[in-house]
Chains A and B, each alone.
Chain A
Amino acid sequence: MSLPHLLAHIQTHVALSAAALSAGTALGVPLGVLAARLRGTRGAILGLVNVGRVIPSLAVLTFVVPVLGVGFKPALVALALLAIPPIAINTDLGLRGVPPAALDVARGVGMTAMQAFVRVEWPLALPVVLTGVRTAAIEVIASATLAAFVGAGGLGEYILRGLQAGEPALLLAGAGSVALLALAAEFTLTLAARRAGERTA
């Protein structure tokens, strides 16, 4: 396996992780907003989301493959499901952490519910939400190695082949790249969360 080969697999790995993270954010944020907004739903939503957290991704893959077949799609579904819990939980947490006084004033000066959300609640919750996205990103990047089991490619291929062929070099190339990707994601998203939180901290 050559260097261009490795780069191609990194690309697949990144594409898969990014797609899963985007899908997880697209689903996790609304769930978190719902949980924070409708008191009655919080227990149900967060409970469900936490159950999702406990089920290993490998098990999810086993369930998804018979329905979606092998390749990119089942891996995406399994990883997106993995990304939802931390994002939904932190969205709920961030929104509930908005100071009551700020909300009171937002309503008191005549913002509509939508304006109060867009101008006050969401920006104040954003640093916490981004922390959730960061946690999800690291979990997704690490777990995306499993995609190799369903033929979706990515850096898991190296680990898989390294194991099968008894070649530690391949194993290390794969695992090392995954670790570097995870660190890069951690660094970028920590920076983003800090920038968003700089003013409010």
Chain B
Amino acid sequence: MLLGPSGCGKSTLLRTVNRLVPLQDGRVLLDEADVASADVTTLRRSIGYAIQEVGLFAHMTVGENVAIVPALLAWERSRVAARIDELLNLVHLDPHRYRDRYPRELSGGEQQRVGVARAIAARPPVLLMDEPFGAVDAIVRASLQEETCQIARTLQTTILFVTHDVDEALRLADRLVVLRDGKVEQYDTPLAILSAPATPYVGRLLGARDVIRRLSLLRVRDAMVPGTGDGAIPEIAADASLRDALDAFLSGAETLAVRAGAGRIGTISYENVRRALRAPAAAGTPP
């Protein structure tokens, strides 16, 4: 995840990976192979590419757009057709309704879904996304983010993601690069960066003192006290964030029972949340 204000060079950096921007100096390694030594068309066909403007081809149907890379790779017709339906299902667009439509007939959110489907069509091991959800409203964006993460997990795709949206970065990133004026300010997990910003700039950008943000990165499981608790107290899922726990405390609960699967594995109180906040960054894994 590359995070920074506009003009900081994050898109340029992203585009050096598929060589849309040539390098003047240095190297880009993908699985330890220098991208500069690969054939440029072969390289690009093996890297997914999705951008904010989506850039759907207006003269092609949704299906043809999705199938562009398989077509370039000269897949067999039947395999392409099956893949189109599979991909549209994956991004929650009904193939029968959408396959033969043209991009201009779609809403912004639908277009971005098609853009994502096109990017992952040939199962690229690496996916470049340049603010792919920047042009849709917050609700659609949230569901697209969730779905994309899920797809990436299922396909085991590495995503290199550019954003200027701090919340998006914190929610999605496994590892976060904070950029400013073409320089890397910090590179670490979101929680580590929030807990210990390397520079005052990073601190300001992320709002490091924003307690709520930090809480949403910590899981109940990591802050609870093992045990079973009384039968009568309300429950919270072990994988919920501490932000959810705080919500429960603010609405009156004193102690929550932590549920994992069918059983209770511990309890959590407000004091546990406070302690987790003071603990070093290493304590948690993002929910």
Binding site for B on A (CB under 8 A): 99-112, 115, 119-120, 123-124, 199-201
Within 8 A of A (CB), among B75-113: 102, 104
Given contacts A104-B55, A110-B42, could you give 10 more A-B pairs where the C-beta distance is less than 8 Å? Answer: A101-B55, A105-B49, A105-B57, A109-B49, A110-B45, A124-B59, A199-B58, A199-B59, A199-B102, A201-B104
Q: Is B211 an interface residue (CB 8 A)?
A: no
Contact A110:B72 (CB < 8 A) given known A101-B51, A199-B102: yes
Do the beta carbons of A107 and B55 come within 8 Å of each other?
Answer: no
Do the beta carbons of A200 and B51 come within 8 Å of each other?
Answer: no
What chain A residues lie within 8 Å of B69 (beta carbons)?
109-110
* Residue on A nearest B122 in the bound complex, by CB: A109
What chain A residues lie within 8 Å of B55 (beta carbons)?
99, 101-105
Bound CA span A144–B243, Å:
79
Q: Is B54 an interface residue (CB 8 A)?
A: yes
* Residue on B nearest A125 in the bound complex, by CB: B59
Q: Is B199 an interface residue (CB 8 A)?
A: no
A199: min CB distance to chain B, Å? 5
Do the beta carbons of B56 and A109 come within 8 Å of each other?
Answer: no
Bound CA span A101–B43, Å:
20
What chain A residues lie within 8 Å of B37 (beta carbons)?
none
Do the beta carbons of A102 and B56 come within 8 Å of each other?
Answer: yes
What chain A residues lie within 8 Å of B102 (beta carbons)?
199
Contact A101:B59 (CB < 8 A) given known A110-B41, A112-B41: no
Q: Which 5 A-B pairs have the closest CB atoms?
A: A110-B44, A101-B55, A101-B53, A110-B45, A105-B55
In the complex, 19 of the A-B residue pairs with CB atoms within 8 angstroms, ordered by the A residue number, are: A99-B53, A100-B53, A103-B55, A104-B20, A104-B51, A104-B53, A104-B55, A105-B57, A107-B20, A108-B18, A108-B51, A109-B68, A110-B46, A110-B69, A115-B72, A199-B59, A200-B58, A200-B104, A201-B104
* Residue on A nearest B39 in the bound complex, by CB: A110
Do the beta carbons of A108 and B49 come within 8 Å of each other?
Answer: yes
A101: min CB distance to chain B, Å? 3
What chain A residues lie within 8 Å of B128 (beta carbons)?
108
Do the beta carbons of B44 and A109 come within 8 Å of each other?
Answer: yes
* Residue on B nearest A197 in the bound complex, by CB: B59
Bound CA span A48–B109, Å:
46
B271: min CB distance to chain A, Å? 51
Do the beta carbons of A124 and B49 come within 8 Å of each other?
Answer: no
Most buried by B among A102, A109, A111, A120: A109
Contact A102:B57 (CB < 8 A) given known A108-B44, A199-B102, A199-B104: yes
Bound CA span A121–B283, Å:
53
Residue from A101, A103, A109 within 8 A of B54 (CB atoms): A101
B1-39: CB near A (< 8 Å → 1, else 0) gives: 000000000000000001010000000000000000000
What chain B residues lie within 8 Å of A111 (beta carbons)?
41, 72
Do the beta carbons of A108 and B20 come within 8 Å of each other?
Answer: yes
B183-225: CB near A (< 8 Å → 1, else 0) gives: 0000000000000000000000000000000000000000000
What chain B residues lie within 8 Å of A200 (beta carbons)?
58-59, 104
Bound CA span A119–B67, Å:
13
* Residue on B nearest A123 in the bound complex, by CB: B59
* Residue on A nearest B68 in the bound complex, by CB: A109
What chain B residues lie within 8 Å of A105 (beta carbons)?
49, 51, 55, 57
B58: min CB distance to chain A, Å? 4
What chain B residues lie within 8 Å of A101 (beta carbons)?
51, 53-55
What chain B residues lie within 8 Å of A124 (beta carbons)?
57-59
B88: min CB distance to chain A, Å? 18
Bound CA span A77–B18, Å:
48
What chain A residues lie within 8 Å of B53 (beta carbons)?
99-101, 104
What chain B residues lie within 8 Å of A103 (beta carbons)?
55
Bound CA span A103–B57, Å:
9
* Residue on A nearest B58 in the bound complex, by CB: A200
What chain A residues lie within 8 Å of B54 (beta carbons)?
101
A115: min CB distance to chain B, Å? 7
